[in-house]
Structure 1
Amino acid sequence: MNSQPLVVDLDGTLVHTDMLHETSLRVLRDRPWDLLRLSVWLSQGKAVVKRNLAERAQFDPQHLPYNEELLHWLKEQKAAGRTLVLCTASDMAVAEAVASHLGIFDEVMGSDGSRNLGGKVKAEALVTLYGERGFDYVGNSTTDLAVWRHARRAVVVNGSTALAQKAGQLAAVEKIFERRPQGLGVWRRVLRAHQWLKNLLLFVPVMAAHQFSDANLWVALAVAFVSFSLCASSVYIFNDLLDLESDRAHPRKRARPFAAGLVPVWMGLLLGVALLVASCLLARKVGGTFFPWLGFYFVLTCAYSWTLKRLMLVDCLALAMLYTVRIVAGAAAAGLSLSFWLLAFAVFLFLSLAFVKRYAELEVQIMNGKTKVHGRGYYTTDAPLIQTLGVTAGYGAVLVLALYLNSEAVLRLYATPEVMWAAVPVLLFWVSWMWMQAHRGLMHDDPLVFAVKDRASLAAGLAFGVVLALGTVGWSG
């Protein structure tokens, strides 16, 4: 039996995140006014900052992104009779919550509000307790080199090859846990590049007005599309950072890069700001009223991430508005006026899709035996009513389309308006099909992402496009 105590770091080692960053985000989301005191706390020392953030941030240690491979090895060491010590620069309250949840640590050490237990301070504390070379240490960063200098053995976690080599010069390396790869796929998921498909809604006003021949208009829309996509990605990043705990409690969303700890929180903040700045610079080049509408989209999305998504029904209305704003912004970029018919159709259709999204989430929670959706204002018993509201909104969109096809605008744009009536049964089928899939538990968290991968939805989209093309050819011919 190895009698040498095994000391384990927390941030970036036992968990794939940094608890200082995590608690800061939770305070920013739940008590933003407290961050006004940050400069005062900093003047009193880093340990004071950590203590105040830990006191104000509520988190569930059950849902943290633990290093499962390391945790499995630690449990084996514990079963072999080895003493395990959790020693972290995070605040003691955070460390004790994690240790209590895992139930494998014999001792817990952390920052106490006056002493920041990191680097050389941690090394001195461990030498005082266990003596020179009287412990083995599990760490992940260059700050841990100060501790390995006094340890008997080193266990390197999530570190580079260079870090492992430096640790080996200070102590015998017992084991190395390799860093998880960060490929292009991870960054594509961070940006949610697949969600950029939604921004094709910017082109809807041009298509609806049959303005196909103006090259300058299409260039302006292309720039607007890139600008909106960068803005949307920044928003998705900020939303993911503010929604970490809810995502980790979700069976699918917990695999998102920030929730899983694949990408550091600080890196997400920097990337989100950079994308937003680039988006604004491009928006200024588009001209017209596009920039104000982009700003409105950003503000509404932030309001949704901060508060609105926790309000029952208001969240779905906000989602419907976020889709509709894309159409309004497209019209602004193209210098076109929007018709009442297009706006009414968009609001009803997108409200139905927003309800689909919520209904699908409720179905997942039902299958997992839960009664309430984490971070949302719904109970699982609300699912039947959400379904009713969503189907009604979808059929409302079909009704608006049918009334539009009987208007004078159709006679002006289409030479064969009677052909356009075929779009009504196509849309009826698609709305019904989407809700049928949601009812059977087959719906993706995002209905538009589901639609672009679903054969029946693609067929309905093709049929809808053919109907529009036939009517347009007759008009232009």
Structure 2
Amino acid sequence: MDARSERNAVPLAVDLDGTLIATDLLWESLFLLLRRRPLCLFLLPFWLMGGKARLKCEIASRVDLDAAGLPYRQDLLAQLRKDRADGRHIVLATASPKKFADAIALHLGVFDEVISTEPGRNMASGMKRDALVRAFGDGGFDYAGNSRADIAVFDAARRAVVVAPDRAAARWHARNGGELLEAAKPTFKTYVKMLRVHQWLKNSLIFVPLILSHEYFNAPLLTLCVLAFISFSTAASAIYILNDFFDLGLDRRHPTKRNRPFASGTLSIPFGFASMLVLLAISGATALFLPPLFGLVLIGYLIATTAYSLSLKRMLLIDVLTLAGLYTVRILAGSAATMIGVSFWLLAFSVFFFLSLALVKRYVELRSTELPAGERIAGRGYRTEDQEVIAQAGMASAFSSAMVLALYIQSSAVRDLYEMPWLIWPLCPIVLYITIRMWILARRDEMHDDPIVFIISDWRSQLFGVLGAVLLFTAGF
């Protein structure tokens, strides 16, 4: 018997979470449950008091996972398929509940049997080891795992296959050997994507009240704005992480969002959850150096963005109105941080301008979908036949923002603030150029689905934006 035949004569047991898939189904199913039934949050402690097995099974009974969309480790899966073709007995041995394990086994078609968690029996660590030893004998099986919980099973296996190990499993492999299948390590770019650093540009709106009041060189006020920017940016990144948790299934069906760190499994959900708590702590600590009113605005922002992630983003038109409102909240945050008042004109302009951008985002999503008429795009309240209405509303919002700006320029407030108010008039065509151009490119399918990313990368928008800033600055002297 050659080496390969000898190896295939021994059953192979394969762990699921973190090993076969680059994620953890308990966390995934938990966020899926909370997205659909938020009030179940209050039941979690009672389920957990009944043991981890009960917690898993209670959650699993209320949600369905898409087995086809999970981030499988393709190198391991390819090896399993080859072993199965050679006649090897392969077992899925997982602490995930039976409902999920059976669905994955059915989808992959490479497992001969499934050992999984059932009510009263959490199939992890020692319990998994005992079940495998009873079935195949001590040292009568090979085992593929990835974590500290798998070490007890490694010790009872004939041979270990250590897949994408955590620190404890990596130390075990260094001492005891075995096959090692490593996963790609996260890079600096991965963490930047997790934080959505490019989205921090939105928080520059915090500086708008300072700029419009001509307090450019007021160091104390500028410091307050910087602190507010840090607080809002870290809070926003925390909410983006939370949003990613709730949208894992949807992101994996999206052509570009499936590459996000959590959807792809590059970063683990527990790491993301810890990062979210750290970011919120930084945001809260920074807010302590600012007026109490800023803290209230920040809390309102967190509540609104969480509601958006949980529910509002799936409501027709409510989602875009919420997004436009969240942009405006950033201006209010700048006002609260510096105690500089903001005018009705500014808030009205902000709502109409950012409503147009939010509608661009939805329009691009509708343009890129291949769903037939009458069906909603995943996670949204829109259908493909809504494209024209969305485009009309977006263009109307763009012109409304320019109209509000024109009325403001002609008002007495401008004559009191600016020495040369006529220099501000070009801002109206600049606003129209930026917004209408985005709509034209969106209709041509030539624009990124996020208008903020588009503005960052489009040199024409940047050029006109800088021109507008220069005119605004010059008009004040």
Q: TM-score range by the shorter chain?
A: over 0.9
Deviation digits for residues 355-394 of structure 1, max 9, x if unmatched? 1111122222239999532111112222222112111111
Distance in 2, Cα, partners of 1:39 & 1:291? 30
Residue 415 of structure 2 corresponds to residue 397 of structure 1: no
| Correspondent of 1:114 among 102, 109, 120 | 120
1:415 equivalent to 2:400? Answer no
CA shift digits 1:442-463 (9 cap, x unpaired): 3223211210111111122122
Task: Name 1:153's counterpart in structure 2.
Answer: 159
Residue matched to 2:64: 58
Are residues 337 and 106 of structure 1, via their aligned partners in 2, closer, same or farther at CA, if it must alter by over 3 Å?
Answer: same
The match for 2:303 is 299
Structure 2 contact 35–311 (Cα < 8 Å) conserved: no
Aligned match of 1:48 = 54
Shift of 1:12: 0.3
Cα displacement (A) at 1:152: 2.1
**Number of residues of Structure 1 aligned to a counterpart in Structure 2:** 471
- Structure-2 change in CA distance of 1:448 and 1:266 (3 Å): same
The offset of 1:469, in angstroms, is 3.1
**Corresponding residue of 1:221:** 225
> Comparing 106-115 with 27-36, which one deviates more in the overlay?
27-36
Which residue is equivalent to 1:140? Answer: 146
The residue that corresponds to 1:430 in the other structure is 434
Q: Is 1:75 matched up with 2:77?
A: no
1:94 corresponds in structure 2 to 100
Spell out, residue by residue over 1:187-229, the C-alpha distance to the aligned partner (whole angstroms, 9 max, x if none).
2222112211111100111111222242211111111111111
1:273, distance to aligned residue in structure 2 (A): 1.9
8 Å CA contact 1:148–1:167 kept in 2: the answer is no
Contiguous gaps of at least 5 residues in structure 2: none
Distance 2:30 2:167 in 1: 31
Aligned 8 A contact 1:5 1:136 in 2: yes
Name the structure 2 match of 1:471: 475
- Match for 1:225: what amino acid? F
What corresponds to 1:364 in structure 2? 368
Report deviation, 1:161: 7.8
Describe the SS at the equivalent of 2:88.
Answer: coil
Aligned equivalent of 2:37: 31
Question: How many angstroms apart in 1 are the aligned matches of 2:102 and 2:305?
Answer: 36
Match of 2:270 in 1: 266
For residue 210 of structure 1, give the secondary structure of its aligned residue in structure 2: coil
Task: Name the stretch that deviates more: 351-360 or 133-142.
Answer: 133-142
Match of 2:24 in 1: 18
Q: Classify the secondary structure of the residue corresponding to 2:215.
A: coil
The corresponding residue for 1:125 is 131
Say if 2:199 is the partner of 1:195.
Answer: yes
CA distance in 2, matches of 1:40, 1:312: 35
**TM score, norm. by length of structure 1:** 0.94
SS at match of 1:285: coil
Checking the alignment, whether the CA contact within 8 Å between 2:409 and 2:424 is kept in structure 1 is yes
For 1:309 and 1:161, how far apart are their aligned partners in 2?
Answer: 38
Q: Which moved more, 1:76-85 or 1:449-458?
A: 76-85
TM-score (norm 2): 0.94
Paired with 1:421 and 1:22, the residues of 2 have a C-alpha distance of: 52
Q: Structure 1 stretch 367-376 or stretch 126-135: which is displaced more? A: 367-376
- Corresponding position of 2:312: 308
Deviation larger for 154-163 or 258-267: 154-163
DSSP 3-state at the match of 1:366: coil
1:56 match: secondary structure: coil
Contact 2:320 2:355 in 1 (8 A): yes
Contact 1:154 1:168 in 2 (8 A): no
Root mean square deviation of aligned Cα = 2.0
CA distance in 2, matches of 1:24, 1:445: 29
Equivalent-residue separation in structure 2 for 1:60 and 1:249 (angstroms): 10
Out of 179, 185, 189, which is 2:189 matched to?
185
One-letter amino acid matched to 1:363: R
**Greater Cα shift, 204-213 or 300-309:** 204-213
Structure 2 CA distance, aligned partners of 1:344 and 1:37? 43
Q: How far apart are 1:299 and its partner, in Å?
A: 0.8
* % identical equivalent positions: 44
Question: Paired residue for 1:461, among 441, 451, 465?
Answer: 465
Report if aligned partners of 2:373, 2:384 keep a CA contact under 8 Å in 1.
Answer: no
* 379-388 or 299-308, which deviates more: 379-388
Report the Cα offset of residue 350 of structure 1. Answer: 0.4
Q: CA deviation at 1:267?
A: 2.0
Whether contact under 8 Å (2:148, 2:166) holds in the other structure is no
Q: Deviations over 1:79-117 (max 9, x none)?
A: 222222111011000101111122222211101112111
Change (3 A) 1:40 1:289: closer
* CA distance in 2: counterparts of 1:85 and 1:366, whole angstroms: 38
